[in-house]
Amino acid sequence: MALLDILRYPDPRLHKVAKPVTEFGTERLRKLVADMAETMYDAPGVGLAATQVDVHERVVTIDVTEAQEKLMVFINPDITWASEEKQVYDEGCLSVPGVYDGVERPARIKVSAFDVDGKPFEVEADGLLAVCIQHEMDHLMGKVFVEYLSPLKRNRIKAKLQKEERGMQRDAAQRAGRR
């Protein structure tokens, strides 16, 4: 297993639409899922979409348990039903570090997907799991949660993260120069 690099907003690769997985049970798919899970847990986060690690396939890993003991893998997920009732949940994102804001989404959903071997399954979700599934599925469609926010908030977040990125690059260059 290996830790994967997580793309940071506003990286344009986060806006690529993921393609469906067509080959199941392969060693490549198993390794991708294992690496995504390791990366998600290490970050630490509760969900990760393949898009966030620059793999543009419809693969999501999620674990909303405190003890990180119930990894869920959704391949080619599809929301088949969503409640009319909405909820606002403070969301964060591994691609938008340090930023949390309220996003309104359906309170309950049903999602159908496949496991790594291509076996279909369906899950009904509410609470954090419902939010997480919808959030990660947005990534597969090339959408980042900050796009639900006002243009003013989004631009402030973008500017803040770009400034942090420049600082990290400057620090890395200075460390490299000392060697």
- Cα–Cα separations (whole angstroms), residue 43 to 64, 86, 96, 114, 152: 14, 29, 12, 25, 28
Q: Which uninterrupted H or E stretch holds 75? A: strand 72-82
Distance of alpha carbon 141 from alpha carbon 12, whole angstroms: 13
* 93 is known to lie in a ligand binding site: yes
CB atoms within 10 A of CB 158: 14
Determine whether the annotation assigns residue 132 to a binding site. no
Q: Which two tokens stand for residue 83?
A: 């409640």
Q: Is 56 annotated as a binding residue?
A: no
Select which of 91, 136, 147, 164 is catalytic: 136
Q: Confirm whether 136 is a catalytic residue.
A: yes
Write the burial class of residue 105 (CB in 10 Å: 0-12 exposed, 13-18 middle, 19+ buried): buried
Provide the 3-class DSSP secondary structure of residue 55. Answer: coil
Which residues are catalytically annotated?
A: 136
